[in-house]
Structure 1
Amino acid sequence: MFRASAGDYMMDILLDWGVDHIYGMPGDSINTLIESIRKVKDQINFIQVRHEEAGALAAAAYAKLTGKLGVCMGIAGPGAIHLLNGLYDAKLDKAPVLAIVGQVETDLMGTDFFQEIDLANLFKDVAVYSQMVMSAEQLPAVLNQAIRTAYDKKGVSVLIIPDDIPKFEVERHARQTSSFYVQSNILPQEKDVKQAIEILNEAKRPVILAGKGARGASESLLTFAEKMKAPIVLSLPGKGVIPDEHPYCLGGLGLIGTKPATVAMEEADALIMVGTSFPFTGFLPENAKTIHLDKDPSQIGKRYAVDVGLAGDSLQTLNSLITLVENHNDGSFLEDCQENLKEWRQKLHEQEQDDSIPIKPQRVIRALQEVADDDAILSVDVGNVTVWMARHFNMTNQKFVISSWLATLGCGLPGAIAGSIAYPDKQVFAICGDGGFQMMMNDFVTAVKYDLPLVAIVLNNHKIAMIKFEQEVMGNAEFVTDLHNPNFAQYADICGGIGYRVEQPEDLLPALKKAISAKKPCIIDVIVDANEAPLPAKITFGQVSGYARHMLKELFQEGTIHKPPL
């Protein structure tokens, strides 16, 4: 009977699942698997990253962007540990990812050998499926189960493979299982739909809060909103579910959201949550009747008290509600919300036109809006840059990827690398702050090595600016938020890419256009105003009070004021 090594058989199974690339670094404890990957290098591309964290973040971003399995790889010990941050990002954002992790050879396990750590416990919390492979015959079935579980549970599966296992031969059909998974069709119970319809028909000021679970149901969401005369507010992961400039869209909610969205929530008498488990419940209505629609029943009512739960697919459940709910003829509440939005957008427009030097970050986002294609890929890092993109970039059909629940700095560049690999014919932008970009900037050379024509826009203010603002709002003096930055444009040139440094507002558009037309990895280093605070859409008294205390501390410098002698 035909026999193949377990490592070679593993590549066949990955190909059956449609895997065409893996992010990782070669090294001890995965050298045997690397040899199997080399044999199929024309079918599975090994993307050599410079840090395993970048590989895991890229795998997570690839899964978020495409819905396909992201795959990353690391050695035992340090490589495995480095993977964790990106894997937690995938876990919290419910992205299907497979992590292939090496281990010392089986006869060395338990001897405290070089780079041996307790991998099973290391990945225990992050993984929906984690398994140590102990025989060649076990590997095919376990690999299928790991991938199937990652897809079904929308999470991280980890395979820990001692380096000797892939060398062993395995019968071609040993423990043969299927390399596919079957999705179920989830619909809410009739009694729950009936209760929801009663609330919807009585609502006078309904508001919809839509998250990423509403993707794929945009038309039905809008039809439902039109029938209800209900404005739509979007969570950050849900940005782009409907176009930002649609008349029913009020933008985001929370500290990075819009004032019209906040006001609408305060006035709502009915809230319909669609595909979101929104965590910042202080921004949700206090007395509104609430309907929560989610495919995962465990998310319904998890963070916020609801009156009715609809466990079902967003598209089909919304279509059912559309056929049953009465037409709402009174559009006065919606019209008030739209008028508030019109005033809000005028203020945003004024900020975007500001010609000040240093450049206002809002001006940078407006310039990006002018050059970005309708189907561009936008990988957004964490920090003040998240606020500017959430408020000032109006999504149409672009794809938007971010670390939403973990909110980890450094996700912007790996996400753009994944975007370039997933969509080689589309514009791909990484929009980063200087702090976030520096965390993963070493992997810009990865973009150069694989000739990925991404454009990294760095908002350079020599600050960890969001933390500076948080310290000030707390009433504290700013401390340890200054950054010492290199010239990122020169860094791009040194790496073999192209760099542009922008210090004048009028140079923004020319630099962006040159970077896009170059079709090479580029960095645009934009010097922006460090004192442009990402003020909340609606400022509370506590925030004003805290900022006043901060100003006093800055003025008097803590410890320099002494009580006068009695």
Structure 2
Amino acid sequence: MAETVAARLLARLREWGVEQVFGYPGDGINGIVAAFEEADDEPRFIQSRHEEMAAFEAVGYAKFSGRPGVCVATSGPGAIHLLNGLYDAKLDHVPVVAIVGQTARAAMGGHYQQEVDLQALFKDVASEYLAEVNVPEQLPNAVDRAFRTALARRAPTALIIPADVQELDYSAPEHVFRQVPSGPPDAPSSVVVPAEDQLARAAAVVNAGSRVAILIGQGARGAADEVMQVAETTGAGVAKALLGKDVLSDDLPYVTGSIGLLGTRASYELMRDCDTLLIVGSSFPYTQFLPDFGQARAVQIDLDGRMAGMRYPTEVNLVGDAGATLRALIPLLRPVTDRSWRGRVEESVADWWSTVERQAMVDASPVNPMRIVHELSLRIPDDAIVTADSGSSTNWYARLLRMRGGMRGSLSGTLATMGAGVPYAIGAKFACPDRPVVALVGDGAMQMNGLAELMTVTRYQDRWTDRRLVVCVFHNNDLNQVTWELRALGGAPKFEESQTLPDIDYAAAARGFGVDGVNVSSPDELGDAWDHALTADGPVLLDVRCDPEVPPIPPHATFEQVKETTEALLKGDPNAWRILVQGVKAKAQEFVPGRR
């Protein structure tokens, strides 16, 4: 029996080392689905509950495995549903290959069922590489270019394969005019290092400083040892962009934690007081949390030259691999003997951790959301993977979870979309089936799509060596981050019709889906709940009733923000008095005896 185009597609995916494809079936990919059956499910077809979830699972897989994630969807609505997850990959620089069906070639242009202009639809999100396979001979080159481009550009790519083409007999490209061959699958291996004169200029800037700050992002993940060596040599403090939260351990006394609105006071002070800034693998966008323009001399290291000098007026931009560039730079750096700046940084870090621990222990009704992450941080295994969703719970992930050991963590960083936490966790389990995974998810995101994906968790848990996957729901019946943004940025009170969520029992729902569900309604129950979840032999959902009025106060609340929030309360916010009380109690922890 002749090999079909769809069968050859799966064979090429296997040659690229693809072990699973996240997707949802439809008649636009019937040929591909049939090929999975004929190939004994190699690679494995992982059925999500929705194509958007399949794309998120591919992103999560790619983030935690370092290999391209692959997702597949049918024509028309299926392809459309992939977009949000693919934009998440695009904005966070993640290699994902999307394979989508299309109506048969003979029907194209005929206003046929599920016919959508997929070239136009994917033109932006898959701008690095987008191809439609219209004859069998195109296939190997198109597949290989999609993977090579995704890896080289750290971006999503897309292949469109019409339904009838999938079922054609495959024939390889020949040595003839207008046919394009392709070499065997491989991965980019070149390491880019800047020229010596650029390294010397960068070293001169850093050596001239006496108060050096380092900002790292996910681009520094393979350069942790080198970042630590630079920090020790220069006496610098190190702040982390949110996507780089897991690059360095928070047990290091000079690591100030996350930066920005969701960041720490120690990171704010580091940037406020430094005279030199070294940015490594980060495109952190909020310049108001970087040093004032003109205050600090700056050097940036990034593999992508398009990102250089985009966030801060840097003097020297080093385009290259972070690890290799730092290794070349380190011999040129002059060791700092005056450690007074380092001492100030370490004191600020110690003060911060002491402050947030006290804030986490402040009484709330019923549970302080900060306490949820604080108790997790005391117990989480050193090899755990943590995914966070978008919402007020992200504040507590960013500020209170102490990364250590080989822990990994990520979230939808630049797109900041809701609903990525649970599918990211599923992708993480397929990337690292022998490691425990924890998803920190707001109740809004859980209602949006997280509940449905619990069925995916139940279905595939037996494929994971370590079956622990913990979903912690911050249950406050409020779209809380937006509520606080309305108060702090718009001076508007909470609008109940927009912000209040239906109240459901998430633990009971989880049990209905086959996942162990635990209800928590008191801070005294939190420790035991986490202990149970982290030692269970299968997935667990923690439904924690927490207080929506604990304010996610920025590390440096501006006068304008305080004014806007106060105005919002005076306009009749339904919980004005409790908000003021909780805010005062939390802020008061910064001024206990011993604080500088």
Contact 1:6 1:137 in 2 (8 A): no
Partner residue in 1 for 2:443: 434
Partner residue in 2 for 1:564: none
State the Cα deviation string for residues 261-296 of structure 1 (Å, max 9, x = none): 111211111100011111001111122101011111
Mapped partners of 2:125, 2:61: distance in 1: 18
Partner residue in 2 for 1:458: 473
Mapped partners of 1:73, 1:173: distance in 2: 24
Partner residue in 1 for 2:200: 194
Amino acid at match of 1:68: R
Mapped partners of 1:173, 1:3: distance in 2: 16
2:418 matches 1:418 = no
Does the residue aligned with 2:160 lie in a helix, a strand or coil? strand
Mapped partners of 1:363, 1:285: distance in 2: 31
Amino acid at match of 1:98: V
Alignment of 1:371-390 (within 5 A): 371-390=379-398
Alignment of 1:16-95 (within 5 A): 16-95=15-94
After TM superposition, give the deviation of residue 352 of structure 1 in Å.
2.4
Mapped partners of 1:370, 1:264: distance in 2: 26
Question: Quick one: which of 481, 484, 490 aligns to 2:508?
Answer: 490
Partner residue in 2 for 1:508: 526
Amino acid at match of 1:214: A
Question: Quick one: which of 289, 293, 312 aligns to 1:283?
Answer: 289
Does the residue aligned with 1:379 lie in a helix, a strand or coil? strand
Partner residue in 1 for 2:492: 476
Contact 2:138 2:173 in 1 (8 A): no
Contact 2:218 2:247 in 1 (8 A): yes
Partner residue in 2 for 1:346: 354
Does the residue aligned with 1:459 lie in a helix, a strand or coil? strand
Does the residue aligned with 1:529 lie in a helix, a strand or coil? coil
Contact 2:95 2:150 in 1 (8 A): yes
Mapped partners of 2:349, 2:145: distance in 1: 49
State the Cα deviation string for residues 406-434 of structure 1 (Å, max 9, x = none): 00000100011111111112111111011
Unaligned runs of 5+ in 2: 175-180, 462-466, 576-596
After TM superposition, give the deviation of residue 105 of structure 1 in Å.
0.8
Contact 2:254 2:349 in 1 (8 A): no
Contact 2:4 2:170 in 1 (8 A): yes
After TM superposition, give the deviation of residue 178 of structure 1 in Å.
2.1
2:457 matches 1:447 = yes
Mapped partners of 1:471, 1:505: distance in 2: 28
Does the residue aligned with 1:164 lie in a helix, a strand or coil? helix
After TM superposition, give the deviation of residue 173 of structure 1 in Å.
6.4
State the Cα deviation string for residues 155-210 of structure 1 (Å, max 9, x = none): 11101111111211123565453222333221112221121121112101111111
After TM superposition, give the deviation of residue 497 of structure 1 in Å.
1.5
After TM superposition, give the deviation of residue 247 of structure 1 in Å.
1.2
Mapped partners of 1:274, 1:152: distance in 2: 19
Mapped partners of 1:67, 1:120: distance in 2: 28
Of residues 452-461 and 516-525 in structure 1, the stretch that sits farther from structure 2 once superposed is 516-525
Mapped partners of 2:562, 2:2: distance in 1: 71
Mapped partners of 1:366, 1:303: distance in 2: 32
Does the residue aligned with 2:239 lie in a helix, a strand or coil? strand
Amino acid at match of 1:360: N
State the Cα deviation string for residues 456-510 of structure 1 (Å, max 9, x = none): 0000000011111111112111112111131100100111111111001121122
State the Cα deviation string for residues 313-353 of structure 1 (Å, max 9, x = none): 11121112211111111111121121122222111111223
Change (3 A) 1:176 1:234: closer
Question: Quick one: which of 342, 353, 377 aligns to 1:369?
Answer: 377
Contact 2:88 2:414 in 1 (8 A): yes
Unaligned runs of 5+ in 1: 558-566
After TM superposition, give the deviation of residue 356 of structure 1 in Å.
3.8
Alignment of 1:91-130 (within 5 A): 91-127=90-126, 128-130=128-130
Does the residue aligned with 2:157 lie in a helix, a strand or coil? strand
Question: Quick one: which of 545, 549, 564 aligns to 2:563?
Answer: 545
2:19 matches 1:7 = no
2:336 matches 1:337 = no
Partner residue in 2 for 1:159: 159
What is the root-mean-square deviation of aligned Cα atoms in Å? 1.5
Contact 1:60 1:95 in 2 (8 A): yes
Mapped partners of 1:117, 1:245: distance in 2: 52
Mapped partners of 1:54, 1:555: distance in 2: 35
State the Cα deviation string for residues 87-117 of structure 1 (Å, max 9, x = none): 0000111111011101111111111100101
Of residues 353-362 and 417-426 in structure 1, the stretch that sits farther from structure 2 once superposed is 353-362
Mapped partners of 1:422, 1:169: distance in 2: 33
2:305 matches 1:297 = yes
Question: Quick one: which of 542, 549, 553 aligns to 1:524?
Answer: 542
Identity across the alignment (%): 37
Contact 1:4 1:172 in 2 (8 A): no
Of residues 179-188 and 110-119 in structure 1, the stretch that sits farther from structure 2 once superposed is 179-188
TM-score by length of 1: 0.96
Amino acid at match of 1:212: Q
How many residue pairs end up in the alignment? 556
Amino acid at match of 2:71: C
Of residues 39-48 and 524-533 in structure 1, the stretch that sits farther from structure 2 once superposed is 39-48
Partner residue in 2 for 1:560: none
Change (3 A) 1:357 1:556: closer
Partner residue in 1 for 2:280: 274
Contact 2:64 2:432 in 1 (8 A): no
Change (3 A) 1:555 1:484: closer
Contact 1:21 1:44 in 2 (8 A): yes
Partner residue in 1 for 2:210: 204
Amino acid at match of 1:514: H
After TM superposition, give the deviation of residue 3 of structure 1 in Å.
4.6
Of residues 262-271 and 457-466 in structure 1, the stretch that sits farther from structure 2 once superposed is 262-271
Change (3 A) 1:3 1:176: farther
Mapped partners of 2:298, 2:323: distance in 1: 19
Amino acid at match of 2:163: D
Contact 1:372 1:427 in 2 (8 A): no
Contact 1:296 1:312 in 2 (8 A): yes
Change (3 A) 1:386 1:322: same
Mapped partners of 2:238, 2:355: distance in 1: 20
Mapped partners of 1:338, 1:489: distance in 2: 41
Question: Quick one: which of 368, 391, 401 aligns to 1:393?
Answer: 401
